Amino acid sequence: MNSNPAYSNSNGYYAQPPQHQRQHHHHQGMNRVRRGPRGRSRDGHGSDIRVSEATKQPEGAPCTDFDMAYFHSYAHVGIHEEMIKDRVRTETYRAAIMQHQSCIAGKVVVDVGCGTGILSIFCAQAGAKRVYAVDASDIAVQANEVVKANNLSDTIIVLHGRVEDVDIDEEVDVIISEWMGYMLLYESMLGSVITARDRWLKPGGLILPSNATLYIAPITHADRYSESIDFWRNVYGIDMSAMLPLAKQCAFEEPCVETIVGENVLTWPHVVKHVDCHKISLHELESVTTSYKFKSMMRAPLHGFAFWFDVEFNGRAIALTNNHAPSQLPNNHTVEGQQRRKRANPSDALVLSTAPEDPPTHWQQTVLYFYDPIEVEQDQLIEGSVTLSQSKENRRFMNIHLEYASGGRSFVKESVMR
Ligand SMILES: C[S@@+](CC[C@H](N)C(=O)[O-])C[C@H]1O[C@@H](n2cnc3c(N)ncnc32)[C@H](O)[C@@H]1O
């Protein structure tokens, strides 16, 4: 076991990079790398980039070794290439920025986690007066070069540091950020958007995306199970069933990031968490629990549960948010903790969806598989609860506690998204 705190944890597993590993079919055992001192540009680059020295107390969570490793993983080109090549993601953000042009033109924007600077540039193209492009990763050096090469240095100010540490000496009209991790909350980057909101956003300011929803649904996936597990029953004519317990553990102990399709899903999804970016608090993100009750729409082996999310870019949500407490929002009490069929009115706002029935994205879906499938009949109830909580040891990791009962039997599955 590695004694380096940025790598190891109490179970002896190793940290994973976040988004750039998203295309890996079975999301296990990837290492993150540690980085050097925070907020330093590399020699010879970006001499005019503004580097945060964090001389005062940070506004949000203190920067840990895990955070440094996290930012270091974002210094690799591959992660940005993957995100930018995800056209569903990038084009939806661009469309949302253009759709909200009237709120952006002539206004001050902060891009929380600017990466290569692409969203900041979209905002400049939409007519922003000034954009603060903040990133703690060394990718900020390249962002600054990209900004200069596009003659946007008068508009876009690249700040190399954490949003918790950098100083911006004015209030901003708009916050833009692509903060979503696997199953929405992995990576815990939303906390940094909340910190930016509470530090700089003007009352009535715009946050894009404005809200987000995480879903869970029971799934059947016989091909996947057979490819990883049943395979061992007959290997070149040899009975290797003795491998089954190990195969189940290795394949299904941790959540799997992979693509499923609508046919895998046994019934309508249930809303685990609805996030109103204007209202959500840091404390609310520490632990999320919901109880669910599904009725299977078909007779099939139940192999596990899938999670996915969508985010909405809804400038009009600001008016609602400013005038109502969250519990009074029109659909809040009907959304969270209940099964939701489809958005009541999909044309209401631009939506970036990672649902199995929608075009695939680099987030894919996240699946929790059982070690053994459970046969369910049509209309059979599947009920239980799920709790997602930030790991105490590394808040970028997520503990998942899943309880489920069907046909008179009940189970518990504990896993960690690392
Ligand atoms: C998912 S990437 C998005 C990059 C870019 N906005 C895009 O859409 O291509 C998130 C970026 O946010 C940065 N980031 C995450 N938390 C941050 C924080 N607290 N302060 C500054 N940057 C942060 C990461 O280093 C990473 O580059």
SS3 (DSSP) at 418: coil
Instruction: Spell out a b/e string for 31-63, using b for 16 or more CB atoms within 10 Å of the CB, else e.
Output: ebebbeebbebeeeebeebbbbebeeebbbbeb
Boundary residue ending a domain (188, 209, 230): 209
Section 272-280 average pLDDT: 98
Tokens representing residue 143 in the block: 């962002």
Do 136 and 269 have their domain in common? no
Section 256-264 average pLDDT: 97
Position 359 confidence tier, pLDDT thresholds 50, 70, 90: very high
pLDDT > 70: percent of the chain: 79
Residue 7's pLDDT is 26
Tokens representing residue 182 in the block: 């696997």
φ, ψ at 316 (rounded to 5°) = -70, -20
Please tell me the distance from the alpha carbon of residue 95 to that of residue 2, in angstroms, as a whole number.
45
For residue 128, CA distances in Å to 124, 132, 144, 320 come to 5, 10, 17, 24
Residue 38 sits in a domain of what CATH number? 3.40.50.150
Please tell me the distance from the alpha carbon of residue 287 to that of residue 272, in angstroms, as a whole number.
11
Residue 132 lies in a domain: yes
Distance from the first to the final alpha carbon of the chain: 15
Please tell me the distance from the alpha carbon of residue 238 to that of residue 198, in angstroms, as a whole number.
62
Pocket test for ligand 1, best of 178, 198, 199, 352 (most atoms within 8 A of CB): 178
Please tell me the distance from the alpha carbon of residue 130 to that of residue 136, in angstroms, as a whole number.
19
Residue 3 lies in a domain: no
Do 37 and 147 have their domain in common? yes
Q: How close is the Cα of 405 to the center of ligand 1, in Å?
A: 39
Q: CB within 6 Å of ligand 1 — which residues?
A: 19, 71, 74, 80, 83-84, 113-116, 118-119, 134-137, 139, 162-164, 178, 189, 192
Pocket test for ligand 1, best of 32, 66, 135, 177 (most atoms within 8 A of CB): 135
Please tell me the distance from the alpha carbon of residue 223 to that of residue 300, in angstroms, as a whole number.
13
Within 8 A by CB and 6+ apart from 90, the residues are: 83, 84, 118
* pLDDT of 223 over the 90 cut: yes
Q: How close is the Cα of 90 to the center of ligand 1, in Å?
A: 14
* pLDDT of 197 over the 60 cut: yes
Please tell me the distance from the alpha carbon of residue 56 to that of residue 346, in angstroms, as a whole number.
45
* pLDDT of 119 over the 90 cut: yes
Q: What is the pLDDT of residues 120-156, one digit of tens each?
A: 999 999 999 999 999 999 999 999 999 999 999 999 9
β-pair type (156-160, 50-51): parallel
pTM of the predicted model as reported, rounded to 2 decimal places: 0.85
> Between these two residues, 57 and 13, which has the higher pLDDT value?
57
Please tell me the distance from the alpha carbon of residue 181 to that of residue 243, in angstroms, as a whole number.
33
Tokens representing residue 42 in the block: 């590399």
Domain count of the fold of the chain: 2
For residue 417, CA distances in Å to 83, 97, 363, 387 come to 20, 32, 14, 13
* pLDDT of 41 over the 70 cut: no
Do 373 and 300 have their domain in common? yes
Section 382-402 average pLDDT: 95
Do 200 and 289 have their domain in common? no
The closest of 373, 224, 204 to 278, measured between CA atoms, is 204
Do 53 and 64 have their domain in common? yes
* pLDDT of 309 over the 90 cut: yes
Residue 353: which domain range? 212-417
Position 347 confidence tier, pLDDT thresholds 50, 70, 90: low
Question: To the nearest whole number, what is the mean pLDDT of the chain?
Answer: 84
Number of other residues whose CB lies within 10 A of the CB of residue 340: 17
Residue 11 lies in a domain: no
Residue 13 lies in a domain: no
Boundary residue ending a domain (161, 179, 209): 209
Residue 340 sits in a domain of what CATH number? 2.70.160.11
- 155 and 131 in contact (C-beta within 8 Å)? yes
* pLDDT of 15 over the 70 cut: no
SS3 (DSSP) at 197: helix
For atom 4 of ligand 1, the residue with the nearest CA is 115
Of 28-37, 203-212, 226-235, 267-276, the one with minimum mean pLDDT is 28-37
> What is the DSSP annotation of 135-180?
ESSTHHHHHHHHHHHTT-TTTEEEEES-TTT----S-EEEEEE---
- Catalytic residue positions? 178, 187
For atom 15 of ligand 1, the residue with the nearest CA is 113
Position 211 confidence tier, pLDDT thresholds 50, 70, 90: very high
Bridge partners, residue 208, by sequence: 176
Section 108-119 average pLDDT: 98
For residue 236, CA distances in Å to 240, 251, 316 come to 10, 21, 61
Position 317 confidence tier, pLDDT thresholds 50, 70, 90: low
Q: How many residues does the chain have?
A: 418
Residue 17's pLDDT is 36
Section 39-55 average pLDDT: 47
Boundary residue ending a domain (162, 185, 209): 209
Position 267 confidence tier, pLDDT thresholds 50, 70, 90: very high
Residue 62's pLDDT is 87
Residue 55's pLDDT is 52
* pLDDT of 382 over the 70 cut: yes
> What is the DSSP annotation of 307-328?
EEEEEEE-TTHHHHHHHS-GGG
